[in-house]
A and B are shown apart, each in its own frame.
Chain A
Amino acid sequence: MHTKSLTQLVEGLRSGEFSAVELAQWYLDRIERHANLNAFITVDRELTLAQARAADQRASQDAPPLNGIPVAHKDIFCAEGMLTTCGSRILGNFTAPYDATVIERFKAVGTVILGKTNMDEFAMGSSNETSYYGPVRNPWNPELVPGGSSGGSAAAVAARLAPAATGTDTGGSIRQPAAFCGVTGLKPSYGRVSRYGMVAFASSLDQGGPITRSVADAALLLDVMAGFDPRDSTSVEQEAPEFTAALGQELSGLRIGLPRQYFGEGLDAAVQETVREALKVYEGLGAKLVDVDLPNSELCVPCYYVLAPSEASSNLSRFDGVRYGHRAEHYDDLMDMYMRTRSEGFGAEVKRRIMIGTYALSAGYYDAYYVKAQKLRRLIADDFDRAFEQCDVLMGPTTPSTAFALGAKSDDPVAMYLNDIYTISVNLAGLPALSLPAGFDARGMPVGLQVIGRYFDESRLLNVGYRYQQETDWHDRMPAGIE
Protein backbone atom coordinates (compact mmCIF):
# COMPACT_ATOMS: atom_id res chain seq x y z
CA MET A 1 0.00 0.00 0.00
CA HIS A 2 2.83 2.43 0.87
CA THR A 3 4.41 2.09 -2.58
CA LYS A 4 1.36 3.61 -4.25
CA SER A 5 1.26 7.20 -5.50
CA LEU A 6 -1.45 9.57 -4.30
CA THR A 7 -3.36 9.05 -7.55
CA GLN A 8 -3.25 5.28 -7.01
CA LEU A 9 -4.37 5.65 -3.39
CA VAL A 10 -7.27 7.84 -4.52
CA GLU A 11 -8.21 5.12 -7.00
CA GLY A 12 -7.89 2.39 -4.34
CA LEU A 13 -10.22 4.25 -1.99
CA ARG A 14 -12.69 4.95 -4.80
CA SER A 15 -12.84 1.36 -5.98
CA GLY A 16 -13.16 0.03 -2.43
CA GLU A 17 -9.86 -1.90 -2.64
CA PHE A 18 -9.20 -0.59 0.87
CA SER A 19 -10.93 1.79 3.28
CA ALA A 20 -9.62 5.05 4.75
CA VAL A 21 -9.35 3.30 8.13
CA GLU A 22 -7.24 0.49 6.65
CA LEU A 23 -5.06 3.02 4.89
CA ALA A 24 -4.55 5.11 8.06
CA GLN A 25 -3.84 1.97 10.09
CA TRP A 26 -1.25 0.85 7.55
CA TYR A 27 0.64 4.14 7.77
CA LEU A 28 0.29 4.40 11.56
CA ASP A 29 1.90 0.96 11.83
CA ARG A 30 4.73 2.01 9.55
CA ILE A 31 5.34 5.14 11.65
CA GLU A 32 5.55 2.98 14.75
CA ARG A 33 7.88 0.47 13.09
CA HIS A 34 10.24 3.24 11.97
CA ALA A 35 10.08 5.29 15.16
CA ASN A 36 13.90 5.34 15.20
CA LEU A 37 13.81 7.94 12.40
CA ASN A 38 12.10 10.32 14.85
CA ALA A 39 10.18 11.87 11.95
CA PHE A 40 7.10 12.69 14.05
CA ILE A 41 6.61 14.75 17.20
CA THR A 42 2.95 13.85 17.67
CA VAL A 43 1.00 10.82 16.47
CA ASP A 44 -2.51 10.57 17.84
CA ARG A 45 -3.76 7.18 16.73
CA GLU A 46 -7.30 7.63 18.02
CA LEU A 47 -7.76 11.02 16.42
CA THR A 48 -6.36 9.82 13.08
CA LEU A 49 -8.58 6.75 13.07
CA ALA A 50 -11.65 8.80 14.02
CA GLN A 51 -10.99 11.11 11.04
CA ALA A 52 -10.50 8.06 8.81
CA ARG A 53 -13.79 6.56 10.00
CA ALA A 54 -15.55 9.83 9.22
CA ALA A 55 -13.99 9.79 5.75
CA ASP A 56 -15.25 6.26 5.16
CA GLN A 57 -18.75 7.38 6.11
CA ARG A 58 -18.54 10.28 3.66
CA ALA A 59 -17.17 8.12 0.87
CA SER A 60 -19.37 8.21 -2.19
CA GLN A 61 -19.06 9.28 -5.79
CA ASP A 62 -19.61 12.89 -4.70
CA ALA A 63 -16.87 12.93 -2.05
CA PRO A 64 -13.84 15.10 -2.93
CA PRO A 65 -11.06 13.05 -4.61
CA LEU A 66 -8.66 13.24 -1.64
CA ASN A 67 -11.31 12.09 0.85
CA GLY A 68 -9.65 9.60 3.22
CA ILE A 69 -6.05 10.28 2.14
CA PRO A 70 -3.71 10.55 5.16
CA VAL A 71 -1.37 13.58 5.14
CA ALA A 72 1.38 14.39 7.65
CA HIS A 73 1.71 18.04 8.67
CA LYS A 74 4.77 19.91 9.80
CA ASP A 75 4.36 20.75 13.48
CA ILE A 76 4.32 24.45 12.60
CA PHE A 77 0.66 24.36 11.45
CA CYS A 78 -1.91 24.82 14.20
CA ALA A 79 -4.42 21.96 14.22
CA GLU A 80 -7.32 22.37 16.61
CA GLY A 81 -7.10 20.12 19.64
CA MET A 82 -3.64 18.84 18.73
CA LEU A 83 -0.29 19.60 20.25
CA THR A 84 1.52 22.16 18.05
CA THR A 85 5.08 22.52 19.34
CA CYS A 86 6.98 24.07 16.40
CA GLY A 87 9.88 21.90 17.57
CA SER A 88 10.27 24.04 20.69
CA ARG A 89 10.08 23.48 24.42
CA ILE A 90 8.32 26.84 24.79
CA LEU A 91 5.29 25.39 22.94
CA GLY A 92 5.71 21.94 24.48
CA ASN A 93 2.27 22.12 26.12
CA PHE A 94 0.50 24.16 23.43
CA THR A 95 -2.73 22.58 22.22
CA ALA A 96 -3.84 24.75 19.32
CA PRO A 97 -7.30 26.26 19.88
CA TYR A 98 -7.93 26.68 16.12
CA ASP A 99 -6.97 25.36 12.69
CA ALA A 100 -4.48 27.00 10.36
CA THR A 101 -6.05 27.80 6.99
CA VAL A 102 -3.90 25.08 5.41
CA ILE A 103 -5.24 22.51 7.90
CA GLU A 104 -8.79 23.77 7.41
CA ARG A 105 -8.44 23.34 3.65
CA PHE A 106 -7.11 19.80 4.01
CA LYS A 107 -9.99 18.95 6.33
CA ALA A 108 -12.50 20.45 3.90
CA VAL A 109 -11.46 17.96 1.20
CA GLY A 110 -11.66 15.03 3.61
CA THR A 111 -7.98 14.25 4.20
CA VAL A 112 -6.92 12.63 7.46
CA ILE A 113 -4.20 14.10 9.73
CA LEU A 114 -1.61 11.36 10.10
CA GLY A 115 0.46 13.24 12.65
CA LYS A 116 2.66 16.27 13.21
CA THR A 117 6.19 16.02 11.87
CA ASN A 118 9.46 16.90 13.56
CA MET A 119 11.27 20.08 12.55
CA ASP A 120 14.07 22.42 13.50
CA GLU A 121 12.95 24.64 16.36
CA PHE A 122 10.79 27.47 14.96
CA ALA A 123 12.00 26.33 11.50
CA MET A 124 15.49 27.67 12.25
CA GLY A 125 17.97 25.13 11.00
CA SER A 126 19.17 23.11 8.03
CA SER A 127 19.66 19.71 9.67
CA ASN A 128 16.72 19.14 12.01
CA GLU A 129 19.20 19.04 14.88
CA THR A 130 17.80 22.14 16.59
CA SER A 131 14.50 20.37 17.42
CA TYR A 132 13.84 20.13 21.16
CA TYR A 133 12.42 16.68 20.38
CA GLY A 134 15.67 15.28 19.03
CA PRO A 135 17.08 15.06 15.52
CA VAL A 136 15.40 13.26 12.64
CA ARG A 137 17.49 10.62 10.89
CA ASN A 138 17.87 10.38 7.13
CA PRO A 139 16.08 7.23 5.86
CA TRP A 140 18.86 6.71 3.27
CA ASN A 141 21.49 6.58 6.02
CA PRO A 142 20.51 7.04 9.68
CA GLU A 143 23.95 8.50 10.53
CA LEU A 144 23.21 11.48 8.30
CA VAL A 145 20.86 14.43 8.71
CA PRO A 146 17.61 14.67 6.70
CA GLY A 147 18.07 18.44 6.18
CA GLY A 148 15.81 21.04 7.65
CA SER A 149 13.81 22.64 8.79
CA SER A 150 11.04 20.41 7.35
CA GLY A 151 13.23 17.34 7.98
CA GLY A 152 10.48 15.25 9.58
CA SER A 153 8.13 15.72 6.63
CA ALA A 154 10.85 14.91 4.07
CA ALA A 155 12.04 11.83 6.00
CA ALA A 156 8.44 10.62 6.47
CA VAL A 157 7.70 10.82 2.75
CA ALA A 158 11.06 9.25 1.80
CA ALA A 159 10.54 6.30 4.18
CA ARG A 160 6.92 5.96 3.01
CA LEU A 161 5.60 6.72 6.50
CA ALA A 162 3.20 9.16 4.87
CA PRO A 163 1.99 9.37 1.28
CA ALA A 164 2.42 13.15 1.36
CA ALA A 165 3.27 15.93 3.79
CA THR A 166 3.28 19.67 4.25
CA GLY A 167 6.32 21.81 4.99
CA THR A 168 7.31 25.46 5.16
CA ASP A 169 10.19 27.24 3.49
CA THR A 170 11.78 30.48 4.74
CA GLY A 171 15.26 30.03 3.25
CA GLY A 172 15.16 26.50 1.82
CA SER A 173 13.31 24.53 4.50
CA ILE A 174 11.20 22.55 2.00
CA ARG A 175 13.70 22.22 -0.84
CA GLN A 176 16.88 21.37 1.10
CA PRO A 177 15.37 18.44 3.09
CA ALA A 178 13.56 17.27 -0.07
CA ALA A 179 16.95 17.16 -1.81
CA PHE A 180 18.67 15.37 1.09
CA CYS A 181 15.89 12.77 1.35
CA GLY A 182 15.28 12.17 -2.37
CA VAL A 183 11.73 13.50 -2.50
CA THR A 184 9.90 16.30 -4.32
CA GLY A 185 9.45 19.64 -2.55
CA LEU A 186 7.71 22.79 -3.74
CA LYS A 187 8.07 26.24 -2.23
CA PRO A 188 5.21 28.24 -3.77
CA SER A 189 5.34 31.97 -4.58
CA TYR A 190 5.06 34.26 -1.58
CA GLY A 191 1.36 34.98 -1.12
CA ARG A 192 0.14 31.80 -2.82
CA VAL A 193 -0.54 29.72 0.33
CA SER A 194 -2.10 31.27 3.43
CA ARG A 195 0.17 31.81 6.43
CA TYR A 196 -2.76 32.05 8.86
CA GLY A 197 -2.18 29.65 11.75
CA MET A 198 1.35 28.85 10.62
CA VAL A 199 3.72 29.78 13.45
CA ALA A 200 5.62 32.82 12.14
CA PHE A 201 9.40 32.84 11.80
CA ALA A 202 10.17 35.55 9.19
CA SER A 203 6.88 36.85 7.85
CA SER A 204 8.14 38.36 4.59
CA LEU A 205 9.83 35.06 3.65
CA ASP A 206 7.75 32.18 5.12
CA GLN A 207 5.67 30.08 2.73
CA GLY A 208 3.96 26.72 3.15
CA GLY A 209 4.09 24.03 0.48
CA PRO A 210 3.91 20.29 -0.29
CA ILE A 211 6.56 17.59 0.17
CA THR A 212 5.66 14.52 -1.86
CA ARG A 213 7.17 11.67 -3.81
CA SER A 214 6.30 13.08 -7.22
CA VAL A 215 5.41 16.35 -8.90
CA ALA A 216 1.99 14.94 -9.80
CA ASP A 217 1.33 14.42 -6.08
CA ALA A 218 2.66 17.92 -5.28
CA ALA A 219 0.21 19.42 -7.78
CA LEU A 220 -2.66 17.54 -6.10
CA LEU A 221 -1.64 19.00 -2.73
CA LEU A 222 -1.09 22.52 -4.05
CA ASP A 223 -4.59 22.44 -5.52
CA VAL A 224 -5.79 22.05 -1.92
CA MET A 225 -3.39 24.49 -0.25
CA ALA A 226 -3.35 27.46 -2.65
CA GLY A 227 -5.82 30.30 -2.84
CA PHE A 228 -6.79 33.65 -1.39
CA ASP A 229 -7.36 33.88 2.36
CA PRO A 230 -8.70 37.13 3.81
CA ARG A 231 -7.17 36.18 7.19
CA ASP A 232 -3.62 36.50 5.82
CA SER A 233 -2.88 40.14 4.95
CA THR A 234 -0.26 39.11 2.37
CA SER A 235 -2.34 36.42 0.68
CA VAL A 236 -2.68 37.39 -2.97
CA GLU A 237 -6.22 38.09 -4.08
CA GLN A 238 -6.15 35.87 -7.10
CA GLU A 239 -7.89 32.59 -7.77
CA ALA A 240 -5.45 29.68 -8.03
CA PRO A 241 -5.52 27.78 -11.32
CA GLU A 242 -5.96 24.01 -11.31
CA PHE A 243 -2.32 22.96 -11.06
CA THR A 244 -2.95 19.31 -11.94
CA ALA A 245 -4.50 20.43 -15.25
CA ALA A 246 -1.21 22.01 -16.37
CA LEU A 247 0.76 18.75 -16.26
CA GLY A 248 1.92 16.96 -19.40
CA GLN A 249 2.51 19.84 -21.79
CA GLU A 250 5.43 19.69 -24.24
CA LEU A 251 8.68 21.38 -23.29
CA SER A 252 10.06 22.01 -26.77
CA GLY A 253 11.37 25.54 -26.98
CA LEU A 254 11.53 25.95 -23.18
CA ARG A 255 14.45 28.21 -22.27
CA ILE A 256 16.30 27.01 -19.17
CA GLY A 257 18.58 29.59 -17.56
CA LEU A 258 21.69 28.30 -15.80
CA PRO A 259 22.95 30.86 -13.28
CA ARG A 260 26.78 30.83 -13.60
CA GLN A 261 27.04 31.51 -9.86
CA TYR A 262 25.24 28.23 -9.06
CA PHE A 263 27.91 26.12 -10.73
CA GLY A 264 31.02 27.71 -9.25
CA GLU A 265 33.31 27.19 -6.32
CA GLY A 266 31.96 25.28 -3.34
CA LEU A 267 29.74 22.96 -5.37
CA ASP A 268 30.37 19.27 -4.80
CA ALA A 269 31.57 17.52 -7.99
CA ALA A 270 29.04 14.67 -7.77
CA VAL A 271 26.17 17.15 -7.32
CA GLN A 272 27.38 19.18 -10.30
CA GLU A 273 27.66 16.07 -12.49
CA THR A 274 24.18 14.84 -11.51
CA VAL A 275 22.63 18.22 -12.27
CA ARG A 276 24.38 18.29 -15.69
CA GLU A 277 22.91 14.85 -16.44
CA ALA A 278 19.44 16.12 -15.57
CA LEU A 279 19.94 19.07 -17.93
CA LYS A 280 20.68 16.60 -20.74
CA VAL A 281 17.30 14.99 -20.11
CA TYR A 282 15.71 18.41 -20.59
CA GLU A 283 17.69 19.00 -23.80
CA GLY A 284 16.33 15.65 -24.98
CA LEU A 285 12.83 17.02 -24.35
CA GLY A 286 13.55 19.97 -26.63
CA ALA A 287 14.56 22.59 -24.06
CA LYS A 288 17.36 25.07 -24.73
CA LEU A 289 20.04 25.93 -22.17
CA VAL A 290 21.05 29.56 -21.68
CA ASP A 291 23.76 30.88 -19.38
CA VAL A 292 22.53 33.68 -17.14
CA ASP A 293 23.93 35.78 -14.30
CA LEU A 294 22.70 36.37 -10.79
CA PRO A 295 25.60 38.64 -9.82
CA ASN A 296 24.52 39.29 -6.23
CA SER A 297 23.65 35.71 -5.35
CA GLU A 298 26.71 35.24 -3.14
CA LEU A 299 25.43 38.01 -0.91
CA CYS A 300 22.08 36.34 -0.31
CA VAL A 301 23.30 34.51 2.81
CA PRO A 302 24.57 37.65 4.60
CA CYS A 303 21.42 39.54 3.53
CA TYR A 304 19.16 36.76 4.80
CA TYR A 305 20.96 36.50 8.14
CA VAL A 306 20.01 40.10 8.85
CA LEU A 307 16.44 40.07 7.58
CA ALA A 308 15.26 36.66 8.84
CA PRO A 309 16.62 37.07 12.41
CA SER A 310 15.28 40.64 12.55
CA GLU A 311 11.78 39.47 11.66
CA ALA A 312 12.18 36.50 13.99
CA SER A 313 13.20 38.65 16.95
CA SER A 314 9.99 40.61 16.50
CA ASN A 315 7.74 37.58 15.84
CA LEU A 316 9.11 35.55 18.74
CA SER A 317 8.58 38.36 21.24
CA ARG A 318 5.05 36.95 21.62
CA PHE A 319 6.41 33.98 23.58
CA ASP A 320 6.39 35.55 27.02
CA GLY A 321 4.83 32.91 29.26
CA VAL A 322 1.65 34.94 29.74
CA ARG A 323 -1.01 33.71 27.32
CA TYR A 324 0.11 30.23 26.26
CA GLY A 325 3.06 27.86 26.27
CA HIS A 326 5.77 27.32 28.83
CA ARG A 327 6.18 29.56 31.88
CA ALA A 328 9.19 29.27 34.19
CA GLU A 329 8.36 27.77 37.57
CA HIS A 330 10.31 30.21 39.74
CA TYR A 331 10.75 33.95 39.21
CA ASP A 332 11.06 37.16 41.21
CA ASP A 333 9.13 39.69 39.15
CA LEU A 334 7.65 40.22 35.68
CA MET A 335 10.99 40.90 33.98
CA ASP A 336 12.52 37.85 35.64
CA MET A 337 9.55 35.76 34.52
CA TYR A 338 10.04 36.82 30.88
CA MET A 339 13.81 36.21 31.03
CA ARG A 340 13.59 32.78 32.67
CA THR A 341 10.65 31.62 30.57
CA ARG A 342 12.38 32.52 27.31
CA SER A 343 15.81 31.26 28.38
CA GLU A 344 14.37 27.89 29.38
CA GLY A 345 11.93 27.68 26.49
CA PHE A 346 14.17 28.52 23.52
CA GLY A 347 17.11 26.44 22.30
CA ALA A 348 20.58 27.74 21.40
CA GLU A 349 20.00 28.45 17.70
CA VAL A 350 16.73 30.30 18.30
CA LYS A 351 18.37 32.44 20.98
CA ARG A 352 21.29 33.23 18.67
CA ARG A 353 18.92 34.39 15.94
CA ILE A 354 16.77 36.45 18.30
CA MET A 355 19.92 38.14 19.60
CA ILE A 356 21.32 38.84 16.10
CA GLY A 357 17.95 40.27 15.06
CA THR A 358 17.65 42.37 18.18
CA TYR A 359 21.13 43.76 17.56
CA ALA A 360 20.45 44.51 13.87
CA LEU A 361 17.28 46.41 14.76
CA SER A 362 18.72 48.27 17.74
CA ALA A 363 19.36 52.01 17.77
CA GLY A 364 22.55 52.94 15.95
CA TYR A 365 22.78 49.73 13.92
CA TYR A 366 19.46 49.76 12.04
CA ASP A 367 20.81 51.52 8.92
CA ALA A 368 24.07 49.59 8.76
CA TYR A 369 22.38 46.21 8.98
CA TYR A 370 18.63 46.18 8.40
CA VAL A 371 18.31 48.92 5.78
CA LYS A 372 21.50 47.74 4.04
CA ALA A 373 20.06 44.22 3.83
CA GLN A 374 16.77 45.51 2.43
CA LYS A 375 18.65 47.36 -0.29
CA LEU A 376 20.54 44.21 -1.12
CA ARG A 377 17.26 42.36 -1.21
CA ARG A 378 16.17 44.62 -4.05
CA LEU A 379 19.40 43.99 -5.98
CA ILE A 380 18.86 40.23 -5.58
CA ALA A 381 15.23 40.44 -6.73
CA ASP A 382 16.26 42.64 -9.70
CA ASP A 383 18.86 40.02 -10.72
CA PHE A 384 16.06 37.46 -11.10
CA ASP A 385 13.95 39.88 -13.17
CA ARG A 386 16.85 40.39 -15.55
CA ALA A 387 17.60 36.65 -15.77
CA PHE A 388 13.97 35.87 -16.59
CA GLU A 389 14.19 38.19 -19.62
CA GLN A 390 16.36 35.48 -21.17
CA CYS A 391 14.65 32.31 -19.95
CA ASP A 392 11.44 30.70 -18.68
CA VAL A 393 12.82 28.81 -15.68
CA LEU A 394 16.16 28.64 -13.90
CA MET A 395 17.90 25.40 -12.96
CA GLY A 396 20.78 24.42 -10.73
CA PRO A 397 21.58 22.36 -7.66
CA THR A 398 19.32 22.65 -4.60
CA THR A 399 22.26 22.26 -2.22
CA PRO A 400 26.05 22.49 -2.54
CA SER A 401 26.48 18.91 -1.25
CA THR A 402 24.41 15.87 -0.35
CA ALA A 403 23.39 15.10 3.26
CA PHE A 404 26.09 15.50 5.91
CA ALA A 405 26.67 13.60 9.15
CA LEU A 406 24.71 14.29 12.32
CA GLY A 407 26.79 16.63 14.46
CA ALA A 408 29.12 17.64 11.59
CA LYS A 409 28.02 21.28 11.49
CA SER A 410 26.00 21.74 14.65
CA ASP A 411 28.83 23.60 16.42
CA ASP A 412 29.43 26.03 13.59
CA PRO A 413 26.37 28.16 12.81
CA VAL A 414 28.00 29.90 9.85
CA ALA A 415 28.94 26.61 8.11
CA MET A 416 25.35 25.48 8.62
CA TYR A 417 23.98 28.72 7.12
CA LEU A 418 26.05 28.32 3.95
CA ASN A 419 24.10 25.16 3.15
CA ASP A 420 21.26 27.32 1.93
CA ILE A 421 23.30 29.37 -0.52
CA TYR A 422 21.25 28.26 -3.58
CA THR A 423 17.83 28.38 -1.94
CA ILE A 424 17.78 31.62 0.10
CA SER A 425 17.70 34.12 -2.77
CA VAL A 426 14.42 32.58 -4.00
CA ASN A 427 12.72 33.49 -0.70
CA LEU A 428 14.19 36.99 -0.75
CA ALA A 429 12.62 37.50 -4.20
CA GLY A 430 9.36 35.68 -3.30
CA LEU A 431 9.60 33.24 -6.24
CA PRO A 432 8.35 29.64 -6.51
CA ALA A 433 10.89 26.80 -6.72
CA LEU A 434 10.94 23.00 -6.83
CA SER A 435 13.49 20.45 -5.72
CA LEU A 436 13.41 17.22 -7.74
CA PRO A 437 15.24 13.95 -7.03
CA ALA A 438 17.86 13.75 -9.80
CA GLY A 439 20.17 10.89 -8.86
CA PHE A 440 22.68 9.82 -6.22
CA ASP A 441 26.26 10.49 -5.24
CA ALA A 442 28.89 7.74 -4.77
CA ARG A 443 27.66 7.14 -1.19
CA GLY A 444 24.17 6.52 -2.48
CA MET A 445 22.77 9.78 -1.11
CA PRO A 446 20.13 11.64 -3.13
CA VAL A 447 20.90 14.79 -5.14
CA GLY A 448 18.31 17.52 -5.70
CA LEU A 449 17.77 19.52 -8.88
CA GLN A 450 16.34 22.96 -8.19
CA VAL A 451 13.95 24.57 -10.68
CA ILE A 452 13.03 28.22 -10.06
CA GLY A 453 10.02 29.82 -11.72
CA ARG A 454 8.66 33.29 -12.32
CA TYR A 455 6.41 34.80 -9.68
CA PHE A 456 3.04 32.97 -9.58
CA ASP A 457 4.11 30.68 -12.44
CA GLU A 458 3.71 27.41 -10.49
CA SER A 459 1.75 25.82 -13.33
CA ARG A 460 4.72 25.98 -15.66
CA LEU A 461 7.14 25.06 -12.87
CA LEU A 462 5.18 21.93 -11.97
CA ASN A 463 4.84 20.90 -15.61
CA VAL A 464 8.62 21.25 -16.06
CA GLY A 465 9.14 18.96 -13.06
CA TYR A 466 6.45 16.53 -14.18
CA ARG A 467 7.95 16.01 -17.64
CA TYR A 468 11.32 15.17 -16.05
CA GLN A 469 9.71 12.57 -13.82
CA GLN A 470 8.07 10.99 -16.84
CA GLU A 471 11.56 10.45 -18.27
CA THR A 472 13.32 9.37 -15.06
CA ASP A 473 12.53 7.16 -12.06
CA TRP A 474 14.69 8.76 -9.35
CA HIS A 475 11.55 9.84 -7.50
CA ASP A 476 10.35 6.22 -7.29
CA ARG A 477 13.50 4.91 -5.59
CA MET A 478 13.07 3.78 -1.99
CA PRO A 479 15.82 3.89 0.63
CA ALA A 480 17.50 0.51 1.07
CA GLY A 481 16.84 -0.82 4.55
CA ILE A 482 13.37 0.71 4.71
CA GLU A 483 10.82 -2.02 4.20
Chain B
Amino acid sequence: MALAKDTVYRIGRLARIHVGDEEADRYADELSRILDLVEQMNAADTERVEPLAHPQERSLRLREDEITEADQREAFQGIAPAVEAGLYLVPKVIE
Protein backbone atom coordinates (compact mmCIF):
# COMPACT_ATOMS: atom_id res chain seq x y z
CA MET B 1 0.00 0.00 0.00
CA ALA B 2 1.42 3.37 -1.01
CA LEU B 3 1.00 6.10 1.58
CA ALA B 4 0.17 9.56 0.29
CA LYS B 5 2.43 12.43 1.33
CA ASP B 6 -0.50 14.10 3.08
CA THR B 7 -0.92 11.02 5.24
CA VAL B 8 2.77 11.13 6.18
CA TYR B 9 2.41 14.76 7.30
CA ARG B 10 -0.70 13.84 9.29
CA ILE B 11 1.03 10.90 11.05
CA GLY B 12 4.00 13.14 11.80
CA ARG B 13 1.74 15.69 13.48
CA LEU B 14 -0.02 12.98 15.52
CA ALA B 15 3.36 11.53 16.56
CA ARG B 16 4.82 14.98 17.28
CA ILE B 17 7.61 14.35 14.80
CA HIS B 18 8.48 17.06 12.32
CA VAL B 19 8.43 15.84 8.71
CA GLY B 20 10.30 18.23 6.44
CA ASP B 21 9.32 18.61 2.76
CA GLU B 22 12.59 16.99 1.75
CA GLU B 23 11.91 13.97 3.99
CA ALA B 24 8.26 13.33 3.11
CA ASP B 25 8.95 11.26 0.00
CA ARG B 26 11.47 9.07 1.79
CA TYR B 27 9.07 8.49 4.70
CA ALA B 28 6.21 7.71 2.29
CA ASP B 29 8.38 5.15 0.53
CA GLU B 30 9.79 3.48 3.66
CA LEU B 31 6.52 3.40 5.57
CA SER B 32 4.73 2.01 2.50
CA ARG B 33 7.25 -0.82 2.28
CA ILE B 34 6.76 -1.65 5.96
CA LEU B 35 2.98 -1.62 5.46
CA ASP B 36 3.38 -4.01 2.51
CA LEU B 37 5.19 -6.38 4.86
CA VAL B 38 2.55 -5.91 7.53
CA GLU B 39 -0.29 -6.63 5.12
CA GLN B 40 0.92 -10.21 4.72
CA MET B 41 -1.12 -10.68 7.90
CA ASN B 42 -4.20 -10.78 5.71
CA ALA B 43 -3.18 -14.26 4.57
CA ALA B 44 -4.34 -15.62 7.93
CA ASP B 45 -8.00 -16.27 8.60
CA THR B 46 -8.70 -14.72 11.99
CA GLU B 47 -12.47 -14.63 11.67
CA ARG B 48 -13.25 -16.42 14.94
CA VAL B 49 -10.06 -15.65 16.85
CA GLU B 50 -10.03 -13.62 20.05
CA PRO B 51 -7.28 -10.97 20.17
CA LEU B 52 -4.33 -11.72 22.49
CA ALA B 53 -3.06 -8.50 24.08
CA HIS B 54 -0.45 -9.98 26.31
CA PRO B 55 1.34 -13.29 26.92
CA GLN B 56 -0.15 -13.47 30.41
CA GLU B 57 -3.86 -13.60 29.98
CA ARG B 58 -4.77 -12.55 33.44
CA SER B 59 -5.96 -9.38 35.07
CA LEU B 60 -3.38 -7.17 36.68
CA ARG B 61 -2.57 -7.55 40.33
CA LEU B 62 -4.29 -5.16 42.74
CA ARG B 63 -2.60 -3.64 45.76
CA GLU B 64 -3.60 -1.64 48.78
CA ASP B 65 -3.97 2.06 48.08
CA GLU B 66 -0.97 3.07 50.15
CA ILE B 67 1.92 5.43 49.48
CA THR B 68 4.97 3.31 48.67
CA GLU B 69 7.30 5.83 47.03
CA ALA B 70 9.25 8.44 48.92
CA ASP B 71 9.09 12.07 47.75
CA GLN B 72 12.03 12.62 45.41
CA ARG B 73 10.85 15.76 43.68
CA GLU B 74 14.18 17.52 44.00
CA ALA B 75 16.17 14.63 42.59
CA PHE B 76 13.77 14.26 39.69
CA GLN B 77 13.60 17.97 38.94
CA GLY B 78 17.37 18.19 39.15
CA ILE B 79 17.61 16.57 35.71
CA ALA B 80 14.80 18.56 34.04
CA PRO B 81 15.59 21.02 31.23
CA ALA B 82 13.83 23.94 32.95
CA VAL B 83 12.23 24.22 36.39
CA GLU B 84 11.24 27.06 38.69
CA ALA B 85 9.74 26.99 42.18
CA GLY B 86 9.20 23.24 41.96
CA LEU B 87 7.39 23.46 38.63
CA TYR B 88 8.39 22.28 35.16
CA LEU B 89 8.62 25.19 32.73
CA VAL B 90 7.19 25.02 29.20
CA PRO B 91 6.43 27.77 26.67
CA LYS B 92 3.33 29.81 27.45
CA VAL B 93 0.13 27.95 26.49
CA ILE B 94 -2.54 30.32 27.80
CA GLU B 95 -2.53 33.96 26.78
Contacts and interface: CB of A to CB of B under 8 A. Distances in A.
Interface in A333-381: 333-340, 342-343, 346, 351-352, 354-356, 358-360, 362, 369, 371-379, 381
Given A324-B79, A342-B17, A346-B17, A376 B41 contact: yes
B46 A429 contact: no
Nearest to B93: A334
A296 interface: yes
A387 to B, nearest CB: 16
Given A97-B75, A339-B18, A356 B31 contact: yes
B46 A372 contact: yes
Interface in B49-88: 49-56, 60-61, 63, 72, 75-76, 78-82, 88
B23 to A, nearest CB: 9
A374 B14 CA distance: 23
Interface in B1-33: 7-8, 11-12, 14-18, 27, 30-31, 33
A299 B18 contact: no
B11 A355 contact: yes
A313 B88 contact: no
A191 B56 contact: yes
A379 B31 contact: no
Contacts of B46: 372, 375-376, 379
Contact of A417 (B37, B56, B72, B82): B37
Contacts of A141: none
Contact of A375 (B34, B51, B81): B51
B31 A359 contact: yes
A413 B30 contact: yes
B90 A377 contact: no
A354 B17 contact: yes
Contacts of A298: 40
A296 B49 CA distance: 14
Given A372-B46, A375-B52, A302 B38 contact: yes
B53 A356 contact: no
B71 to A, nearest CB: 13
Nearest to B81: A327
Contacts of A430: 55-56
Interface in A165-198: 190-191
A234 B56 contact: yes
Contact of B11 (A362, A372, A374, A379): A362
Given A327-B81, A379-B44, A204 B54 contact: yes
Nearest to A309: B34
A305 interface: yes
A322 interface: yes
Interface residues of B, number: 49
A322 B30 contact: no
Q: How large is the interface on A (under 10, 10 to 19, 20 to 34, 35 or more residues)?
A: 35 or more
A191 B58 CA distance: 12
A368 to B, nearest CB: 9
A323 interface: yes
A429 B90 CA distance: 42
A94 interface: yes
A7 interface: no
Q: Which of B14, B31, B33, B81 has the most chain A CB atoms closer than 10 A to its own CB?
A: B81
A414 B37 CA distance: 7
Contacts of B17: 339, 342-343, 346, 351, 354-355
A204 B56 CA distance: 9
A234 B7 CA distance: 35
Contacts of A414: 33-34, 36-37
Interface string A301-333: 111011000000100010011111111000111
B88 A323 contact: yes
B41 A299 contact: yes
Interface in A21-75: none
Contacts of A374: 51-53
Contacts of A93: 79
Given A313-B15, A343-B18, A190 B55 contact: yes
20 contacts: A93-B79, A94-B79, A234-B60, A299-B44, A302-B37, A302-B40, A327-B81, A332-B91, A339-B18, A342-B18, A351-B15, A354-B15, A362-B14, A372-B46, A375-B51, A376-B44, A376-B49, A378-B50, A414-B33, A417-B34
Closest 4 CB pairs of A and B: A430-B55, A374-B51, A378-B52, A375-B46
Interface of A: 93-95, 97-98, 190-191, 204, 230, 233-234, 236-237, 296, 298-299, 301-303, 305-306, 313, 317, 320-327, 331-340, 342-343, 346, 351-352, 354-356, 358-360, 362, 369, 371-379, 381, 413-414, 417, 428-430, 455
Interface of B: 7-8, 11-12, 14-18, 27, 30-31, 33-44, 46, 49-56, 60-61, 63, 72, 75-76, 78-82, 88, 90-93
Given A334-B93, A359-B31, A362-B14, 12 more contacts: A191-B55, A204-B53, A299-B44, A302-B37, A302-B38, A302-B39, A342-B16, A342-B18, A355-B31, A358-B11, A362-B11, A413-B34
